[in-house]
Structure 1
Amino acid sequence: MAETEVEPRIENNERSTMQKVLEMIANDEMSKATETIEKEIARDEDASPVFDFTLANLYFQMEKFEKALSSYQIAVEKFPKFRRAWKNMSLIYVRQGRLEEALPGLTRVIELGGSDAITYGLLGYAYSSVENHISAESAYRMAILLEPKTLDWKMGLARSLFKQERYAEAASLCGQLIENHPDRSDLWLLQANAYIGLNQPVKAAEIYELVNHLGQATVASLNMLGDIYINEELYDMAVESYIGALEKDPEKSTDRTIRSAKVLSARGAYEETRKLVDTVEGLRKDQLSEDQRKDLLKLKARLAVADGSDEEEVNVLQQIVELDPLDGEALILLGQHSSRTGDMEKAEFYYERAANIEKFEADAKVRHAQLLVKSGKYDEALPLLRRAQQVKPRDNVQEYLEQVERVSKNR
């Protein structure tokens, strides 16, 4: 497209004013230039869009972005093919992180023949922000074609491939880029994530460890490394990774670390669970939320059970109930403890309290029924089991209910 098609004209009677403005700009008299153009536009609303464009550029330089956007908009309304105005307007949107709003302008620039690497690269970036990864890939490939040495465009392409779950291509491209940029941790981390997508966790772990040794590990990479080690049953190494993540960002990592401790506890890795619990308490004791404190207390209760310390278990569970009288899980665990120690009356008390909490009614009634069956009170157990099935039908509970019914009839 010829330049005359994408650049508006300046009428002869406007040239002298524009020449004065350009001289002011050359002399760094920005305020004076701005004032002159504003007066010209106020005098003649139909003034050449070049005035609006120049005014917008001055606002842009002064970081008055909203005013600049408004003036660029007027310029393209007066002259819809004004390519430079579309481009500068898009650059402001990108600078402000308003990437979706940048898309129409960037595509318009390309339609008007502005096919340069920057425009294609920014278009890829904007498409990525709205999860349009196929279009982002196309834009990044065009940017690379025009500017093959720019790493940002290749990184954008790798990310768009990853987002499309084309993990093998993403990992391969990252590998090529790493050869020339071995110090770029973002390349290593993206490649590691691609290996996770390819179900090659050991390869991913090697890369995460490398990044860690480079001192460039992130909270996310350390947590992911911990998850891999858990799946490989390397619990001590998992804990070290989780602690590393927690130390990097205690406030944001606390919930994630507690979830990891729960997984370790479920795997029977009690020593490692205790180490994580102690670390969380040491780093965040005074900043823990009520839910976080409850979660840690529940973990301590499980550890107490694993250690065979009934007294400590009860103490911890009672602390949980003091924090939250409606914690059905803790009430059921207290009921189970009372049942184990032969205090049936107290066990029933806890189960009945838990049954009054909607979320735990079914489980509490089943536990209560089991307690009654153990005491030979089959007829009293049956209504509890039937109610549990009404609230939360389960095959194993139905089988148990039928067994109790048969025993009750045969007595």
Structure 2
Amino acid sequence: MISSKSLKLAATGLICFAGCLTASAQYKTDQEFWNQPHIAKSFANSYEIKTQTEPDLTEEEQIAVKQVLDMLKADPQGSKDAALAAILKVITPDSSAALDFIAGNFYAEKGDLKTAIKYYDQAAKKFPSFLRAIRNAAIMRVQQGQYSAALKGLTRAIELGAKDTTTMGLLGLCYVNTEQYFSAETAYREAIVLDPTVKDWQLGLAKSLLQQAKYKESIAVLNQMLVNDPESDILWSSVANAYLGIDDPETAVAVQEIVDRLGKATPDSLVFMGNIYMSRGLNDLALTYFKRSIAMDSNQDPQVHVNIAEVMTARGAYDQATQVISDIRSSFEPKLTPENKLSLLRLEAQIALATQQGEKVIPILEELIERDPLDGQALLLLADYYSNKQDIDGYARADLYYERATKVREWEVRALISWARSFVAREKFGKAIPLLERAQVLQSQEHIGRYLEQVRKVHLAQLGSK
């Protein structure tokens, strides 16, 4: 039997994202994919046909295949193209499916997976129970990320009798990537029973458990893996996410600290740490991790850190948010999108207003409106600023900005309510009422309804006193 170079399957890895309980499949290089022992053992890229269980060859076809085998024996590497050409010459719509299968093997070995799939599919169409053709095509589709199509092929292969560790493991991988996590768990468990040494299947099982919120079970699987791979940052990070899932942030922090001490911290793992500390109100400690994450890699997506600055601002951690904004600008300036820049300007405006730096906020907001005249948030912030000045000129300017903000659909309700509150502050209740009524028509809110009733009562009382 003539065997090709070993084929490989990329590992399924768990990449834990900060603040969320997810893990996603990661793939190794193509070369690593095809050289893994469990793939090499299961994907027998043979140029001979098992005539008892697979399609027969005519005498002429047998001669052609023998010639190909002789060519390969004489020169295993150099004659591959010539051998493929010889096989292609004898393939016809009526020829044996075995020839299409052999052609598929040649193309798979060349790395032309698309063409390999074409010939495997042709073989399966000619001979519908051709197990190896169906299974090989499914493996190629996994490598190309065509998980739904691969799932059908692997399921069919299992129906025809394939139940080895690789078939079951790849079935689990396809289920994970089509978000069928319970089925993935079942497939991975069977793959592990068939071969408990394959790390890929253990990682896949841990992911399927995490996605089903079976955190304690996933911790058990990951801890078992850590016995053999105690310096794996991916495993430690996954364990930390699992502990966060069972509402044990203290242990999650302790576990993630191990990753840091191993010297394997990543921007994601540092953000993970910062998020946990921020959720516990330890903003200064959180800031140290966020700053380290920003400084670690200037090529990462700045939106992650823009989101962090938004959360800090919303929590009132203005000093820390200001530092994060400064670091974002200094580290990611070339990568910042126009929307990123607008978001940062809005945050600076909010911080300036909240910290009574009124004069500083005006040029920021005016720049935002100059860039986007329909920036509802900037219009509303500017309106609130002038309304809070509580003088005639301020109220006049505020009304102009409130009116412009009401013309921006996604900000209309908030602008109507804020404008109404401004009129209430001025004791102009009659002008506030129609604004609140309009807001309720657009988006009925119980607390605004109660507020409207109170304003109506005060307005009636005001009228009665005159």
**TM-score, normalization by structure 2:** 0.80
Report if aligned partners of 1:329, 1:360 keep a CA contact under 8 Å in 2.
yes
Deviation at 1:284, TM superposition (A): 2.6
Residue 433 (structure 2) aligned to one of 346, 362, 382: 382
Counterpart of 1:217, as a letter, is: A
Report if aligned partners of 1:314, 1:334 keep a CA contact under 8 Å in 2.
yes
Q: What does 1:223-234 align with in structure 2 at a 5 Å threshold? A: 223-234=271-282
Flag the 1:407–1:223 CA change in 2: closer, same or farther, 3 A: farther
Distance 2:161 2:426 in 1: 86
Report if aligned partners of 1:41, 1:47 keep a CA contact under 8 Å in 2.
yes
For each residue in 1:300-335, what CA deviation from the matched residue of structure 2 results, as whole angstroms up to 9, or x when unmatched?
223323433221122322222222222222223222
Counterpart of 1:324, as a letter, is: D
Are residues 1:336 and 2:387 paired? Answer: no
Deviation at 1:281, TM superposition (A): 1.5
Deviation at 1:178, TM superposition (A): 0.8
Residue 415 (structure 2) aligned to one of 343, 364, 372: 364
Counterpart of 1:141, as a letter, is: R
Counterpart of 1:345, as a letter, is: A
Distance 1:159 1:366 in 2: 46
Residue 174 (structure 1) aligned to one of 222, 241, 254: 222
Residue 91 (structure 2) aligned to one of 35, 38, 41: 41
Flag the 1:35–1:313 CA change in 2: closer, same or farther, 3 A: closer
Counterpart of 2:53, as a letter, is: V
Deviation at 1:5, TM superposition (A): 5.2
Residue 262 (structure 1) aligned to one of 290, 303, 310: 310
Counterpart of 2:440, as a letter, is: Q
Report if aligned partners of 1:389, 1:397 keep a CA contact under 8 Å in 2.
no
Percent identical among aligned pairs is: 35
Moved more, 79-88 or 174-183: 79-88
Deviation at 1:286, TM superposition (A): 4.5
Report if aligned partners of 2:61, 2:90 keep a CA contact under 8 Å in 1.
no
Counterpart of 2:86, as a letter, is: T
Q: Which residue of 1 aligns with 2:38?
A: none
For each residue in 1:144-202, what CA deviation from the matched residue of structure 2 results, as whole angstroms up to 9, or x when unmatched?
11212222111111111112221110011111111221122221122111112211122
Q: Which residue of 1 aligns with 2:149?
A: 101
Deviation at 1:82, TM superposition (A): 2.3
Residue 125 (structure 2) aligned to one of 60, 77, 87: 77
Flag the 1:349–1:68 CA change in 2: closer, same or farther, 3 A: closer
Moved more, 13-22 or 3-12: 3-12
Distance 1:7 1:305 in 2: 77
Q: What does 1:135-284 align with in structure 2 at a 5 Å threshold? A: 135-250=183-298, 252-284=300-332
Counterpart of 2:412, as a letter, is: E
Counterpart of 2:396, as a letter, is: E
Distance 1:381 1:17 in 2: 91
Counterpart of 2:456, as a letter, is: E
In the alignment, structure 1 segments of 5+ residues that lack a partner are none
Flag the 1:289–1:407 CA change in 2: closer, same or farther, 3 A: farther
SS in structure 1 opposite 2:197? coil
Distance 2:128 2:436 in 1: 74
Deviation at 1:19, TM superposition (A): 1.4
Q: Which residue of 2 aligns with 1:321?
A: 369
Deviation at 1:235, TM superposition (A): 0.6
Q: Which residue of 1 aligns with 2:347?
A: 299
Distance 1:50 1:361 in 2: 68
Flag the 1:400–1:209 CA change in 2: closer, same or farther, 3 A: farther
Deviation at 1:107, TM superposition (A): 2.5
Report if aligned partners of 1:55, 1:68 keep a CA contact under 8 Å in 2.
yes
Flag the 1:323–1:58 CA change in 2: closer, same or farther, 3 A: same
Deviation at 1:251, TM superposition (A): 5.7
Q: What does 1:82-93 align with in structure 2 at a 5 Å threshold? A: 82-93=130-141
Residue 402 (structure 2) aligned to one of 351, 359, 363: 351
Counterpart of 1:303, as a letter, is: I
Flag the 1:197–1:372 CA change in 2: closer, same or farther, 3 A: closer
Report if aligned partners of 2:382, 2:401 keep a CA contact under 8 Å in 1.
yes
Flag the 1:339–1:30 CA change in 2: closer, same or farther, 3 A: closer
Flag the 1:291–1:84 CA change in 2: closer, same or farther, 3 A: closer
Report if aligned partners of 1:385, 1:401 keep a CA contact under 8 Å in 2.
no
Deviation at 1:279, TM superposition (A): 0.8
Distance 1:183 1:159 in 2: 19
For each residue in 1:99-146, what CA deviation from the matched residue of structure 2 results, as whole angstroms up to 9, or x when unmatched?
222223222333333322122211211221111222222221222112
Residue 51 (structure 1) aligned to one of 95, 99, 104: 99
Deviation at 1:359, TM superposition (A): 3.1
Counterpart of 2:112, as a letter, is: K
The higher-RCO structure (CA 8 Å, 6+ apart) is 2
For each residue in 1:322-363, what CA deviation from the matched residue of structure 2 results, as whole angstroms up to 9, or x when unmatched?
222222222232222223322322222222222333333343
Counterpart of 1:34, as a letter, is: L
Q: Which residue of 1 aligns with 2:457?
A: 403
For each residue in 1:28-55, what CA deviation from the matched residue of structure 2 results, as whole angstroms up to 9, or x when unmatched?
322222222222224xx43332222222
SS in structure 1 opposite 2:321? helix
Higher helix content, 1 or 2: 1
Report if aligned partners of 2:302, 2:335 keep a CA contact under 8 Å in 1.
no
Residue 16 (structure 1) aligned to one of 63, 66, 71: 63
Distance 2:286 2:350 in 1: 20
SS in structure 2 opposite 1:6? coil
For each residue in 1:41-91, what CA deviation from the matched residue of structure 2 results, as whole angstroms up to 9, or x when unmatched?
24xx43332222222212222223233222222222333332222222222
> What is the aligned length?
407
Flag the 1:25–1:272 CA change in 2: closer, same or farther, 3 A: same
Distance 1:327 1:304 in 2: 18
Distance 2:58 2:336 in 1: 69
**TM-score, normalization by structure 1:** 0.90
In the alignment, structure 2 segments of 5+ residues that lack a partner are 1-49
Flag the 1:137–1:270 CA change in 2: closer, same or farther, 3 A: same
Flag the 1:275–1:6 CA change in 2: closer, same or farther, 3 A: same
Moved more, 312-321 or 174-183: 312-321
SS in structure 2 opposite 1:336? helix
